[in-house]
Structure 1
Amino acid sequence: MSETRIFLLPDLGEGLTEAELVSWHVAVGDTISVDQPIAEVETAKSTVEVPSPYAGIVAELHGQPGETLDVGKPLISVTPVGASEPAEPVTAPTETELGEPVETHPEAEAYREEEKAGSGNVLIGYGTPGGHGVARRTRAPKTSVSVLEPQETKPTDDDLTLLRTRVPGKLGAVISPLVRRMAREHGVDLGELPGSGEGGLIMRRDVEKAIHAPVAEPAKTKPVETRPAETRPVETAGAPEGVDTRTGLPIAARTPVRGVRKAVAANMARSRSEIPEATVWVDVDATALLELREGLKAGGSQVPGLLAFIARFVTAGLKRYPELNTRIETASDGSQEIVSFDGINLGIAAQTDRGLVVPSVRAAEKLTARELDTEIRRLTDVARQGKATPTELGSGTFTLNNYGVFGVDGSAAIINHPEVAILGVGRIIDKPWVVNGELAVRKVTELTLTFDHRVCDGGTAAGFLRFVADAIENPTTLLADL
């Protein structure tokens, strides 16, 4: 009797708990090999191919293109060629949340059992454990003890990283998918639930406590009689299908918010709700910078793009004003810390067919303008192809946004949480400008800096903005390393 192996959707890393199935590369009945790409999935970070850890014949495909699959759920079933062993239960490493003891409640036992059978698969795109493509299996020991009996385990830091995920919308806490499901099925509002774990992490015990908390008796009031004709369903009943009840207009389409758009929406909403932002801006005469580039072109050398020059000025400015290259962290007791970094990962906002993404140039402060130009072009290209890695998309410390390419002068941009500042560059156009007391036509652009007022005051923000503006107006002072 052949043994069918079920491959679960692997942990995608970076707190991602779901992925949209884009396409299958195999069909039922196909013979596949270890590490052969079997499907393409799209996450909130990028589009990746999923390799199979098993060789054999495809027995079943668990999902249709366009369907959203949860991490740890079946992706594909494979029957090994020539397998004859009886089927045995397959379990993956036990996943837990934190090392603290968890109180036992009968209603939560189902979740614990499911958690013990969760995915232990490797990060997609990086092969299988040990590079051999062999799935690790846990066989029942030759005793009367079942492998599903509770075991005392202490998770590692890597386990905690893989288990944590951010909830879109207003929730700033970090919780596991199983805790979210437990709360949903028991009607617990996670938005109002304080977390007892590290950094405000909402844990299973918090949900269990809410489930078993006594319900307060409502105040006794005289019941209000209502007639069925006065209820909301009667007001909207009979509305034509496909017509919006509020506006009365036909609904042209419904587009699910998912993938990159979902991640961007959640991040922008969180940024607006958590960060007390302020914006400063200045018009800049970029004539000298444009003339410098034209001179370099005339010399026959490879010339960086304007954005690379500005990126070079930004990294120099952040060295002088490091408060803008930080992050705010909030502890479980509500106290906050400003985290500074020894280095700059410069995010470059890039518009793609999948939405706005921000890949980052790592250690940007060590690169020349030419090196920055090469890396910016590479990152923009992989981002537009949907091939940027989670690390490239999630490690920035400051963002540079060139919205001038869209033909606009300025914008009060939203900070890319958890960063604390973003610099926008508008289009460069001819404008009247006073030079040495005389009116002239110059190439002018607008710089806009939006910053988190918790990390610095207006003086620091204005100092940084003026530094970058002066560098654009007098570029040779900072470009000796070209």
Structure 2
Amino acid sequence: MSTPNIFLLPDLGEGLAEAELVTWFVSVGDRITVDQPIAEVETAKSVVEVPSPYAGTVAVLHGEPGEVMDVGKPLISVMPADSSPVSVPVQVAAAGRPVDASVHAHGGITRPVAPAPDAAAAAYREEERAGSGNVLIGYGTPAGQGHAGRRRTRKLSHPAGPQHVQSPPHTRASPPTTPAPPGATAHEVLPGRGERLAVSSPLVRRLAYDSGVDLHAVHGTGAAGLITRRDVEAALSAGAAVSPLPSGIPRTAGLSEAQQSVPVRDSPAGSPPGISASTSAGADDSEVDPRTGLVVASRTPVRGVRKAVAAAMTRSRTEIPEATVWVDVDATALVGLRSAMKERSPEDTPGLLAFIARFVTSGLRKYPELNSRFQPVQDAGAGASTTDGAQILGFGGVNLGFAAQTDRGLVVPSIRRADRLSARGLDAEIRRLGRVAREGKASPTELTGSTFTINNYGVFGVDGSAAIINHPEAAMLGIGRIIDRAWVVDGELAIRKIVELTLVFDHRVCDGGAASAFLRHVVDAIEDPASALADL
């Protein structure tokens, strides 16, 4: 008798206890190898591929695309590669309920009692030691344990010879395979799964769905016919059809069942071509909001990045008594200094944000109150003040976060030990982290752990903002747009490059004097950058 190895959804990073299953890369009955990507999951931080620590035959898929799964719960069950090939259970577990099936030598299927949670957790830890260990991007794999395969689209093949796979009652039937359109080199047909589009990333699939574009009608211009973001945007510009997909064609991979079931309506009058009137689940023209008397046009589930942002902002506003100071800054000298550097060395000149980040880390060394965290006592008890026994944690370094807007929402990549980096080093990290965040490839470590955040909302063309502190940090510096304004210089009116800086701080850890002094330190460095950089 052989029992399947149960692979639990791994720890996805600091503070992340759940993930949404985007799509399966394998089906029940498929033969898989160690480190082969088996599923794609979306956390509040990024979209990652999960590789298998086991080789063998897929026995159970413990979830459906669109389902939110808890860390430590079963993800997939794999029959060992050396197990008897008499038959393989191909049952899909109900939501949140692991199914442990064994195969009898005579073909009978028995169902032993599922292990207790403690036993399952212990087995999971043992599995990580015995398996590949490569359960997430960035995890290492011991030598000799197999190789990692990272291609998003692949052909999954079964070994030669007859397959002894039996489907017991109540199993999930595989969707019918849809033949690829003639000449459609951008498509692959996977065993038991139907046609799979060659799309470069989940962000492209999301953009296409939100815009109402049928990816089956889009010609991919990427390598091997890959559909890219540019292809979807070109289809939008060309006025791609915004209509429900034909029933014979599978929906775009990576969307939840609820989202896939919503018909995409034609654009209302005045809407841009190709833009859907509703892009979220649950909307119904017959539903009227009792408060406003208006038709409910859409219902958007709060999940992923939006869920994480909502929770963090609510907690920040609930727990942190914030205060704000701001000042207009003459950035003419800094803009001029950077322009002169770019003329001499256009390839490696830091951006203005990197210079300001360097001034910020200098200011945090001088005013460490802003680089701290208020830590209340846990479980203080009924009637106790939230400040009784609380502590203010100071840090021996700066992890500088910066707000980055992506297609998935607002995220905050963290530059580790930013206080040790020069302006050029900071610029390189800002560009690298910004790129991987936009691509949805940033690791949980790269999106957590900041001790102070800068928010460059000036790129959106605004001057100031009443920002919300990135919980649980103590402060955030906002940077507005740099514009030409009339300014008095040495008693004379002149046109200068002016930017507004806004500092929001936790009044529990810092008073206005220290906050204002820190802000003036940054302002003075911007107005006289040559002197400031000489002292750094």
Specify if TM > 0.5. yes
Match of 2:303 among 258, 279, 286: 258
- More deviation, 68-77/365-374: 68-77
Structure 2 CA distance for aligned equivalents of residues 378 and 67 of structure 1: 31
1:99-178 superposed matches below 5 A? 113-118=116-121, 119-120=124-125, 122=128, 124-125=136-137
Please list the CA deviations of residues 186-217 of structure 1 after superposition, one character each: whole Å capped at 9, or x if unmatched.
xxxxxxxxxxxxxxxxxxxxxxxxxxxxxxxx
Residue 438 (1) aligns with residue 483 (2): no
Q: CA offset at residue 113 of structure 1? A: 4.2
When residues 249 and 325 of structure 1 are mapped into structure 2, their CA distance, relative to the original with a 3 A threshold, is same
Q: Closer, same or farther in 2 for the Cα pair 1:60/1:322, shift >3 Å?
A: same
Once the two structures are superposed, the pairs formed by residues 122-271 of structure 1 within 5 Å of their partners are 122=128, 124-125=136-137, 241-271=286-316
- The residue number in structure 2 matching 1:23 is 23
Structure 2, unpaired ranges of 5+:
88-114, 129-134, 147-283, 381-387
Unaligned segments of structure 1, at least 5 residues: 88-111, 135-238
**Superposed CA offset, 1:239-295 (max 9, x none):** 995222222221111111111111111111111011110000000011111111111
Distance 1:481 1:303 in 2: 19
Counterpart of 1:305? 351
Contact kept in structure 2, 1:49 and 1:124, CA below 8 Å = yes
Structure 2 residue matching 1:478: 3-state secondary structure: helix
1:277 aligns with 2:322: yes
Change (3 A) 1:131 1:354: farther
Tell me by how many angstroms 1:441 deviates: 0.8
Match of 2:520 among 446, 460, 466: 466
* Residue 290, structure 1, aligned to residue 293, structure 2: no
In structure 2, relative to structure 1, the CA distance for the partners of 1:473 and 1:240 (3 Å cut) is: closer
**Offset at residue 128 of structure 1 (A):** 8.2
Question: Any conservation in 1 of the 2:9–2:73 contact (CA below 8 Å)?
Answer: yes
Residue 30 of structure 1 aligns to which amino acid in structure 2? D
Aligned sequence identity (%):
66
Deviations 1:310-337 (A, max 9, x none): 0011111111111100011112344111
2:352 is the counterpart of 1:340: no
More helix by share: 1
Question: Is 1:426 aligned to 2:480, yes or no?
Answer: yes
Q: 1:327 aligns with which of 349, 373, 389?
A: 373
Higher mean C-alpha deviation, range 43-52 or range 277-286: 43-52
Are residues 407 and 429 of structure 1, via their aligned partners in 2, closer, same or farther at CA, if it must alter by over 3 Å? same
SS of structure 1 residue aligned to 2:397: coil
Aligned residues: 356
Q: For 1:365, which of 419, 444, 451 is the aligned residue? A: 419
RMSD over aligned Cα atoms: 2.6
Q: Secondary structure at the match of 2:446?
A: helix
1:454 aligns to 2:508 (yes or no): yes
Q: Identify the residue that residue 60 of structure 1 maps to in structure 2.
A: 60
1:219-256: per-residue Cα shift (whole Å, max 9, x none)? xxxxxxxxxxxxxxxxxxxx995222222221111111
Q: Is the 2:12–2:444 Cα contact (8 Å) retained in structure 1?
A: no
Distance 1:285 1:390, change over 3 A: same
Q: Provide the secondary structure at the position in 2 that maps to 1:23.
A: strand
What is the CA-CA distance between 1:131 and the residue it aligns to? Answer: 6.5
State the shift of 1:479 in Å: 2.0
Q: Output one character per residue of 1:403-440: Cα deviation in whole Å (capped at 9) or x when no partner.
A: 00000000011000110000000000011000110111
Helix, strand or coil at the partner of 1:117 = helix
State the TM-score, normalizing by the size of structure 1.
0.69
CA apart distance, 1:71: 1.9
Structure 1 pair 313–240 and aligned structure 2 pair: CA distance change class (3 A): closer
- Conservation of the 8 A alpha-carbon contact between 2:285 and 2:296: no
3-state secondary structure, aligned to 1:479: helix
Shift of the 346–470 alpha-carbon distance from structure 1 to 2, 3 Å rule, reads same
How far off its partner does 1:69 sit?
A: 1.4
